[in-house]
């Protein structure tokens, strides 16, 4: 009990001194928010993509069903453009052939061509496809219900049939239908980066300085054991990381309508990631004796890990080889888990491998940092 | 072990020495920092530990503090092996040579934090912190960040932190180094008072003047061991009823030593010889002309000659062959 009290007292004191520092808010809030704004707007996408998706239609149908089908496609999320001839530029183009109605009436199957510009938004394309399936399903169901008569009049009397069929599209695993983007990507990304920056730099330098000043030795003049002292230093640096994350998430929630997906699981991912970072900071602080060296190494590690791990841009957009390389970055495992939770309907089982990797890393680094924890030079 | 049990032992410690250090030996590689160092201290004794740079003072304090390990020998404190029970540290106060505290915090917060690591009840701690700030004359500035303090103020705070939990034994490593006279006087005064209240005190220093007026006992150490100890008078008696002659001039140390080589039998003792400065102890001042004669014959230039009565400095010279300040 006394041991725990002493550990909490020392960790609390470290946090208090950090919060008193004038540059604390600059590093934990101002600077990261600048980054968030930059990357948030740079990689807009995902749910914050343009609210409507464009579809160009080339209707060559000679019967009446072509126009009817177009009516079914119309929806607030779709901007429908019609063209007389095949246009040179389009995002997506659907062609209704001259025999479109004829084949319907003859109950013959047919294939419609949907052409997509290669670099157009995948999210918009998905929305258009879903709408097309819905339109096809409606048209077919109405044909079943009412044959070839005037369906509009029938449906006016039978509103209950209007949305009889809804279509849910499923994509094979690994197909990227959504590219994470916007604030929901940028805020966690910059948070993960700044946990590394802040905890490694501040946490590492203070461990080193406290050793040089004789503060660590003096702490041991009390009935405190060296093991408890190490735990206190580790706890303090973990709390620094958590404080950083909570502040950015709260600011994100209030000002940028941040949506993390599963909040408790997201915090768990951040917590394990922060623990690994905290252990690394104590390790670096014990091994190095110069402030410049610690700052240099921390900035290098934090930025390389952030870049490789997908903190700045969604890892989903980089080539597969780079993505594989990113796996050496602890930030990769954190960001990948956060993306699963926010953008890919992930649950605990989905992020368990990520948590496992991060936890193993945290354990290994904690043991290393404990072994090399230096009280005096 | 419970603190209560330590209290129980207290009844007996009056018959025992508060601190018993036996054959403490510590080496750093080939370097022997402590060499079979032995020392005892009784309750309320204030011991000044004098030693030149590298004598092993800090090493000794650090071993007692528990931050330096891998040594041989034993330390008994209040009748126990000092290293057998961490709770014993509640009875031990240590003031390190470094200003080891948080510059960002104010004096009061520093005291509350450091004191809080010991088993002192929270409200008692607050009262004691205010009290001790009064004693070291920092009450007026207790709400100011310590980084604004002068060197002397920081030293006083450094000392205060070691006293807060009212230890039975207080160890101070060069508590007065690098500060102005006023702060020095205040710290020495505090040490004396703490001793008078029954706390055992050991403090290390380079400064002879400090131990002369502050300590009940003085120990002189060099090269990791104690060369002599006792009261001021006892130590000075080691030199004998002699006068001290300090000779300044223009001569190499070796020539000087050679010139006086066989004079021992005449009651002349060479205490130390450095280039251009040498110290002799003479039983009879009438021997001085004879000495000078020898120097002149060898053409060793003498520019000044002072005759003094023996002091602690003489004792130190006699024992170590060097001055404290080299
Ligand atoms: N960590 C260490 N590694 C190697 N040698 C050391 C170490 N600490 C001390 N020493 C050596 O041990 C000897 C005793 O050092 P110590 O610091 O105890 O002396 P001191 O009496 O406190 O000197 P000072 O008056 O300069 O403070 C010195 O020769 C010193 O160089
Ligand atoms: Mg020293």
Residue A90 has pLDDT above 60, yes or no: yes
Report domain A53-156's class.
Answer: alpha beta
**CB contact (8 A) between residue A9 and residue B113:** yes
- Among protein residues, the one whose CA lies closest to atom 17 of ligand 1: B58
Candidates A177, A92, A86, A105; CA nearest to A132 is A92
The arithmetic mean of pLDDT across residues B104-116, rounded, is 96
**Shortest Cα distance, chain A CAs vs residue B86, angstroms:** 5
**A13 contacts in chain B (CB < 8 Å):** 102, 113
Which strands make up the sheet holding B277-282, listed edge to edge?
B268-274, B277-282, B243-250, B301-308
Ligand nearest to the CA of B27: 1
Q: Is the dihedral of CA A196, A201, A204, A210 positive or negative?
A: negative
CA distances from A123 to A130, A176, A347, B69, B155 (A): 11, 9, 22, 65, 67
The Cα–Cα gap between B173 and A59 comes to: 95
List, in order, residues 6 or more apart from A366 with CB less than 8 Å away.
Answer: A234, A275, A279
Q: A354: left (phi > 0), else alpha (psi -120 to 50), else beta? A: alpha
pLDDT at B3: 44
- For residue B201, report the phi and psi dihedrals to the nearest 5 degrees: -135, 135
Q: For A315-361, how does the pLDDT look when each residue is reduced to its tens digit (9 = 90+)? A: 877 888 888 999 999 999 999 999 999 888 889 999 999 999 999 99
Tens digits of residue pLDDT in B225-264: 999 999 988 988 887 778 888 899 999 988 888 888 877 6
Q: Hey, how many other C-beta atoms are within 10 angstroms of the C-beta on A200?
A: 28
Give, as one character, the DSSP assignment of residue A29: I
- For the beta carbon of residue B236, count every other beta carbon within 10 angstroms: 16
Element (H, E) at B122: helix B122-135
Under a CB-based contact definition with an 8 Å cutoff, are residues A132 and A73 in contact?
Answer: yes
Q: What angle do CA A209, B177, B113 make, to 5 degrees?
A: 45
pLDDT band at B315 (very low <50, low <70, confident <90, very high): confident
Report the Cα A11 to chain-centroid distance in Å.
31
Ligand nearest to the CA of residue B57, numbered in listed order: 1
Q: What backbone phi and psi angles, to 5 degrees, belong to A19?
A: -65, -30
Distances (CA, A) of B136 to A11, A229, B131, B141, B192: 28, 29, 9, 11, 13
Confidence of residue A153 (pLDDT cuts 50, 70, 90): low
A34 min Cα distance to partner chain B (Å): 28
pLDDT, mean of residues A148-175: 57
The residue whose CB lies within 8 Å of the most ligand 1 atoms, and thus the one to mutate among B48, B55, B172, is B55
Rounded to two decimals, the ipTM of the complex is: 0.83
Nearest partner of A372 among A297, A285, A286, A280, judged by Cα = A286
* % of residues, chain A, pLDDT over 70: 88
- Could B117 and A6 be called an inter-chain contact, meaning their C-beta atoms sit closer than 8 Å? yes
Q: What is the pLDDT of residue A306?
A: 96
- Where is average pLDDT lowest: A10-19, A50-59, A336-345, B292-301? A50-59
Q: Name A376's Cβ contacts closer than 8 Å, sequence gap at least 6.
A: A211, A214, A216, A217, B67
Number of neighbouring beta carbons within 10 Å of residue B303: 9
Q: Where does the pLDDT of residue B28 fall: very low under 50, low under 70, confident under 90, or very high at 90 and above? A: very high
Average pLDDT for B183-200: 92
- Rounded distance between C-alpha atoms, residue A298 and residue A202, angstroms: 9
pLDDT digits (tens, 9 = 90+) for A223-246: 999 999 999 999 999 999 999 999
pLDDT of residue A174: 46
**Considering only A122-126, A259-263, B72-76, which range has the smallest mean pLDDT?**
A122-126
DSSP summary character for residue A229: H
Query: Per the CB < 8 Å rule, is B96 touching A214?
Result: yes
User: Tens of pLDDT along A166-204?
Assistant: 444 444 444 455 667 788 889 999 999 999 999 999 999
B interface with A, Cβ–Cβ < 8 A, is: 62, 65-67, 86-87, 89-90, 92, 94, 96-102, 104-105, 113-114, 116-119, 161
pTM given for the model: 0.77
Min mean pLDDT across A24-33, A135-144, A275-284 is at: A135-144
- The pLDDT, as a whole number, for residue B2 is 41
Q: Record the tokens describing residue B285, joined without a space.
A: 């001042």
The pLDDT value recorded for residue A88 is 83
Helix axes B151-163, B107-116, angle to 10 degrees: 30
* pLDDT value of residue B167: 95
Residue A92 has pLDDT above 70, yes or no: yes
**A252 and A183 in contact (C-beta within 8 Å)?**
yes
Best to test chain B binding among A218, A225, A373, A376 (most B CBs inside 10 Å):
A218
Distance (Å, rounded) from C-alpha B242 to C-alpha B231?
Answer: 18
Quick one: which H or E segment has residue A83? strand A78-83
* Alpha carbon nearest to ligand 1 atom 7, residue: B28
Q: Which residues pair with B281 in a beta bridge?
A: B244, B269
Average pLDDT of the segment spanning A63-90: 85
pLDDT, residue B289, reads 86
3-state helix, strand, coil in chain B (%, to 5): 40, 30, 30
Residue A165 pLDDT exceeds 70: no
Average pLDDT, chain A: 87
- Domain boundary assignment for chain A: 7-46+183-372, 53-156
What is the model's pLDDT at position B317? 82
Is a pLDDT exceeding 60 seen at residue B5?
A: no
Over residues B103-131, the mean pLDDT reads 95
**For position A149, what pLDDT does the model report?**
65
How many angstroms does the Cα of residue B49 sit away from the middle of ligand 1? 15
How many other CB atoms sit within 10 Å of the CB of residue A254? 9
CB atoms near residue B233 (< 10 Å) = 7
* Mean per-residue pLDDT over chain B, rounded: 88
Residues A323, A328: Cα–Cα separation, whole Å: 10
**Residues B65-84, mean pLDDT to the nearest whole number:** 93
Which residues have a Cβ under 8 Å from the Cβ of A15 and sit 6 or more positions away? Answer: A236, A239, A240, A243
More confident residue, A127 or B200: B200
Cα of B205 vs centre of ligand 2, distance in Å, is 9
Per-residue pLDDT at A148: 64
pLDDT tens for residues B85-108?
899 999 999 999 999 999 999 999
C-alpha radius of gyration, chain A, whole number: 28
pLDDT at A178: 61
């Amino acid at each position: 009990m006394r041991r725990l009290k002493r550990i909490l007292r020392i960790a609390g004191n470290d946090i208090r001194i950090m919060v008193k520092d004038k540059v604390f808010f600059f590093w934990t809030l101002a600077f990261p928010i600048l980054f968030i704004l930059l990357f948030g707007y740079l990689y807009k996408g995902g749910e914050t993509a343009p609210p409507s998706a464009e579809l160009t239609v080339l209707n060559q149908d000679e019967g009446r069903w072509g126009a009817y089908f177009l009516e079914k496609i119309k929806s607030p999320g779709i901007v429908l453009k019609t063209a007389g001839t095949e246009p040179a530029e389009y995002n997506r183009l659907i062609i209704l052939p001259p025999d479109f109605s004829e084949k319907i009436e003859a109950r013959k199957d047919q294939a419609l061509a949907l052409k997509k510009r290669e670099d157009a938004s995948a999210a918009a394309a998905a929305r258009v496809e879903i709408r097309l399936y819905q339109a096809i399903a409606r048209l077919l169901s109405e044909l079943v219900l009412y044959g070839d008569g005037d369906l509009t009049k029938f449906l006016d009397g039978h509103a209950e049939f209007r949305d009889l069929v809804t279509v849910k599209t499923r994509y094979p695993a690994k197909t990227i239908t959504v590219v994470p983007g916007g604030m929901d990507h940028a805020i966690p990304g910059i948070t993960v980066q700044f946990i590394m920056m802040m905890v490694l730099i501040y946490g590492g330098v203070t461990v080193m300085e406290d050793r040089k000043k004789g503060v660590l030795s003096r702490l041991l003049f009390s009935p405190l054991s060296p093991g408890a002292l190490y735990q206190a230093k580790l706890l303090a640096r973990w709390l620094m990381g958590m404080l950083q994350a909570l502040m950015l998430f709260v600011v994100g929630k209030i000002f940028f309508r941040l949506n993390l997906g599963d909040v408790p699981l997201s915090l768990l991912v951040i917590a394990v990631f922060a623990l690994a970072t905290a252990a690394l900071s104590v390790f670096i602080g014990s091994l190095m004796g110069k402030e410049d060296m610690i700052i240099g190494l921390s900035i290098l590690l934090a930025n390389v890990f952030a870049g490789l791990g997908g903190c700045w841009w969604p890892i989903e957009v980089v080539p597969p080889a780079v993505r594989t390389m990113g796996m050496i970055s602890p930030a990769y495992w954190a960001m990948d888990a956060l993306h699963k939770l926010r953008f890919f309907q992930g649950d605990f089982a989905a992020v368990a491998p990520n948590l496992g990797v991060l936890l193993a890393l945290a354990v290994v680094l904690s043991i290393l940092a404990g072994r090399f924890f230096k009280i005096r030079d | 072990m419970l603190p209560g049990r330590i209290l129980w032992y207290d009844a007996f410690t009056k018959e025992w020495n508060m601190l018993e250090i036996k054959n403490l030996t510590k080496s750093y590689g080939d370097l022997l920092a402590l060499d079979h160092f032995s020392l005892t201290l009784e309750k309320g004794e204030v011991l000044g530990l004098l030693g030149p740079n590298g004598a092993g003072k800090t090493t000794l304090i650090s071993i007692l503090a528990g931050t330096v390990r891998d040594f041989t020998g034993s330390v008994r404190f209040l009748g126990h092996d000092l290293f057998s029970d961490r709770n014993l540290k509640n009875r031990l106060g240590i003031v390190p040579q470094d200003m080891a505290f948080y510059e960002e915090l104010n004096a009061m917060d520093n005291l509350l934090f450091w004191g809080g690591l010991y088993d002192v009840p929270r409200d008692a701690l607050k009262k004691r912190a205010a009290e001790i700030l009064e004693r070291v004359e920092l009450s007026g500035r207790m709400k100011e960040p310590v980084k604004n303090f002068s060197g002397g103020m920081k030293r006083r705070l450094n000392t205060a932190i070691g006293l807060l939990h009212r230890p039975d034994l207080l160890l101070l490593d060069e508590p007065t180094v690098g500060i102005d006279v006023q702060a020095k006087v205040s710290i020495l005064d505090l040490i004396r008072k703490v001793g008078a209240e029954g706390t055992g005190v050991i403090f290390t220093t380079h400064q002879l003047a400090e131990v002369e007026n502050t300590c009940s006992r003085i120990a002189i150490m060099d090269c990791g061991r104690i060369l002599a100890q006792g009261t001021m008078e006892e130590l000075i008696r080691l030199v004998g009823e002699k006068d001290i002659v300090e000779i300044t001039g223009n001569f190499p140390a070796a020539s000087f030593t050679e010139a006086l080589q066989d004079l021992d039998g005449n009651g002349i003792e060479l205490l130390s010889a450095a280039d251009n400065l040498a110290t002799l102890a003479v039983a009879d001042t009438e021997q001085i002309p004879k000495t000078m004669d020898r120097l002149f014959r060898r053409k060793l230039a003498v520019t000044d000659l002072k005759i003094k009565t023996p002091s602690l400095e003489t004792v130190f010279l006699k024992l170590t062959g060097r001055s404290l300040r080299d």
